[in-house]
Amino acid sequence: MDIHVKNENGEVTVTLAGRLDTTTAPALDKTIAEELGGAKTLIFDLKDLAYTSSAGLRCFLKAQKTMNRQGSMKLTNVSQTIMEILEITGFTDFLAVDTQE
Amino acid sequence: MFSVSTKSENGILTAALSGRIDSVNAAEAETKINAAVAGCTGAPVLDAAELAYLSSAGLRVILRLKKAYPGLKIVNVSSEVYEIFDMTGFTEMMEISKAYRKVSVEGCEVIGEGANGIVYRIDEDTIVKVYKNHDALAEIHNERELARKAFVMGVPTAIPYDVVQVGELYGSVFELLNAKSFAKLMIAEPEKTDEYAKQSAEILKTIHSTVLKPGELPDKKAEAVIWAEFCTEYLPADVGEKLLRMMREIPDTQNMIHGDYHIKNIMRQNGENLLIDMDTLAMGHPVFEFAAIYLAYVGFSCIDHNNVKDFLGISYEQARAFWNATLRSYFDTGDEAFLRSIENMSAVIGYARLLRRTVRKSRDSEEYKTKMIDYCKNTLCELVPQTDKLYF
């Protein structure tokens, strides 16, 4: 999985490509922990994310908890496959999600 | 063509709609539906599995029915018809649920088989647990809700996906864990028992530090008081009364409790520990968790040390060592007197449960039952007088 981070004056965009699972999630956790200090908005660009397991959902959950205290968080460019996972696991109830156009 | 057939189950009337409802046949369809649900006491359920299409005239029929029966529900709706309900806002007005996705397990690898179902691997990332009994839907939804709740509250567990139909049966789709249970790991590496106990205690702390709202999960103490009440009939009056009093005195807390926490339910995947079998999730004082754990490793084997070997695959000695190490890690102390007091509380609550369970529904031989009941009674008679409270 590829993780790309852009930080512009507290607006952090994390672009993910590939599969987010127990092997790759720890790297994302680490990135988030390093980058979130002072972040006002956090955007996950999931255009090229092919799959997420529970480990990935836990990353989003953790990030959401942090951002609830200091700003806001959003998942963007969510593909239909990922959207389906978010929907059936009930994650759309508490994560802000924009689907792919 | 439009037709309606009805069936009644547990006092709920279900009308199965078949065909299409449009401006041409709406009046006729309405007459048929009204006749089908006439005299229905509670709210009827419309089964839309065979409903192919519904025009605005059809929607008006549903609307009038909803006015007559405010609790009206529509189930088994196909994706196409669901879209119509969704676009017109009907899904926000009443309970409308989609048909379950149909999945075939033909040729799929069987991963495991339990008392209530068979687990198949359906693709690279998911498994399906197919329940053996036909009316498992409520149980499936309950188990999934509990797993989801635990997950969202930060307890590491596999996530449940959707509920599916597998032929005549129902199944629950879960993420595939590429994992080994602690039980398997401990059989392979008995010298690491202490290390696994330490990790097991860490997860327990995470679970117990999760605090719920009153009523959010089943209350463990209410259940335990029933065990104690049952036991008073089998114990000398003073012992029974003290047991019941101590059980009632356990503080009413809302800590999350796994309820069936043993090494077959802790999975290790790529260095990460995850829990499975969340269907016994409850809340209450953590002492109830220790009572259940004590039974799993020690109590169930009290008159036959082979039980734990059959159940968890490890020897009685290893199970005991694991129990002791779990207590040491969880309470972070080597104070033996304190740890023995925790063990005694766990044993008292545990044997109260085991006594009732053995009397009520043991499938074992009469001889085994008698021995077990005597053991529980004797142990309670010995431990209750030495115990002052059942909480820490």
User: Are B238 and B375 within one domain?
Assistant: yes
Position B144 scores a pLDDT of 86
User: Are B243 and B369 within one domain?
Assistant: yes
Position B362 scores a pLDDT of 64
Confidence class for position B340, pLDDT limits 50, 70, 90:
very high
User: Are B234 and B294 within one domain?
Assistant: yes
User: Are B143 and B202 within one domain?
Assistant: no
Average pLDDT over residues B144-173: 87
Look up the CATH number of the domain holding residue B264.
Answer: 3.90.1200.10
Instruction: Flag whether residue B154 sits within 8 Å of chain A, measured between CB atoms.
Output: yes
Which member of A22, A85, A88 has the closest CB to residue B272? A22
DSSP state of B80: H
- A2-99, what's its fold? Transcription Regulator spoIIAA (3.30.750)
| Residue contact A22–B148, C-beta within 8 A | no
Question: Distance between CA B249 and CA B157 in Å, rounded?
Answer: 32
Which member of B159, B162, B270 has the closest CB to residue A54? B159
Which member of B148, B154, B272 has the closest CB to residue A55? B272
Residue B330 is assigned to a structural domain of this protein: yes
From chain A, pick out residues whose CB is under 8 angstroms from the CB of B160. Answer: 89
Residue B392 is assigned to a structural domain of this protein: no
Look up the CATH number of the domain holding residue B53.
Answer: 3.30.750.24
Instruction: Flag whether residue B79 sits within 8 Å of chain A, measured between CB atoms.
Output: no
Residue range B33-75, pLDDT digits in tens: 999 998 788 889 999 999 999 999 999 999 999 999 999 999 9
| Residue contact A55–B152, C-beta within 8 A | no
User: Are B171 and B184 within one domain?
Assistant: no
Question: Distance between CA B381 and CA B378 in Å, rounded?
Answer: 5
Q: Which helix (H) or strand (E) element contains residue B51?
A: strand B45-54
User: Are B351 and B219 within one domain?
Assistant: yes
User: Cα–Cα distances in Å, from B367 out to B234, B303, B371, B372, B374?
Assistant: 18, 12, 6, 9, 11
Q: What is the mean pLDDT of chain B?
A: 92
Average pLDDT over residues B88-99: 92
Residue B305 is assigned to a structural domain of this protein: yes
- Structural domain range at position B33: 2-99
From chain A, pick out residues whose CB is under 8 angstroms from the CB of B270. Answer: 22-23
User: Are B150 and B230 within one domain?
Assistant: no
| Residue contact B274–A58, C-beta within 8 A | no
Domain boundary among the residues B99, B132, B153 is at: B99
Q: Any idea where the domains of chain A sit in the sequence?
A: 2-99
Average pLDDT over residues B360-381: 91
Does residue B182 carry a pLDDT above 70? Answer: yes
The 3-state DSSP class for residue B208 equals: helix
- CA A88 centroid distance within chain: 17
Which member of A23, A51, A54 has the closest CB to residue B151? A54
Position A101 scores a pLDDT of 59
- Percent of chain B, pLDDT > 90? 74
- CA B31 centroid distance within chain: 43
Domain boundary among the residues B175, B199, B223 is at: B175
Residue B104 is assigned to a structural domain of this protein: no
Which member of B125, B152, B270 has the closest CB to residue A23? B270
Select the more confidently predicted residue: B227 or A23.
Answer: B227
Q: Among residues A32, A22, A98, which one has the least CA distance to residue A66?
A: A32
User: Are B237 and B304 within one domain?
Assistant: yes
| A28 contact partners, CB below 8 Å, separation of at least 6 | A1, A3, A14, A16, A20, A56, A59
Does residue B343 carry a pLDDT above 90? Answer: yes
User: Are B88 and B16 within one domain?
Assistant: yes
**Per-residue model confidence as pLDDT tens for chain A (101 residues):** 999 999 998 899 999 999 998 889 999 999 998 988 889 999 999 999 999 988 899 899 989 989 999 999 999 999 988 998 888 888 888 899 988 75
Report the chain A residue with the minimal C-alpha distance to residue B147: A89
Residue A69: how many CB atoms within 10 A of its CB? 6
Residue B391 is assigned to a structural domain of this protein: no
From chain B, pick out residues whose CB is under 8 angstroms from the CB of A90. Answer: 148, 152
Residues in chain A: 101
User: Are B210 and B280 within one domain?
Assistant: yes
Domain boundary among the residues B175, B201, B223 is at: B175
| Residue contact A90–B162, C-beta within 8 A | no
| Residue contact B148–A85, C-beta within 8 A | no
ipTM of this complex prediction, to 2 decimal places: 0.73
Position B131 scores a pLDDT of 92
Does residue B140 carry a pLDDT above 80? Answer: yes
User: Are B135 and B241 within one domain?
Assistant: no
